[in-house]
């Protein structure tokens, strides 16, 4: 694993809103590939 692999992995991860990040930290949620927020951001409503 090299730096470009790490950067590519980060770039492909969906962006999360602060509330969605907090919910993910608590655990038990699956993140969709793309969210319903502006620019495809994952919101708390998108978490399953």
pLDDT (tens digit per residue) in 3-41: 998 888 878 888 999 999 999 889 889 888 889 999 999
Look up the pTM and report it. Answer: 0.69
Strand partners, 42: 16
Name which residue leads in pLDDT, 39 or 1: 39
pLDDT of residue 28: 86
- State the virtual CA torsion across 10, 16, 19, 25 in degrees, nearest 10: -40
pLDDT of residue 48: 84
Q: How far is CA 16 from the centre of its chain?
A: 4
pLDDT of residue 17: 94
């Amino acid at each position: 694993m090299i730096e470009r692999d790490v950067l590519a992995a980060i770039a492909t991860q969906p962006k999360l809103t602060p509330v969605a990040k907090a919910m993910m930290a608590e655990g038990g949620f699956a993140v969709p590939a793309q969210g319903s927020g502006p620019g495809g951001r994952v919101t708390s409503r998108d978490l399953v």
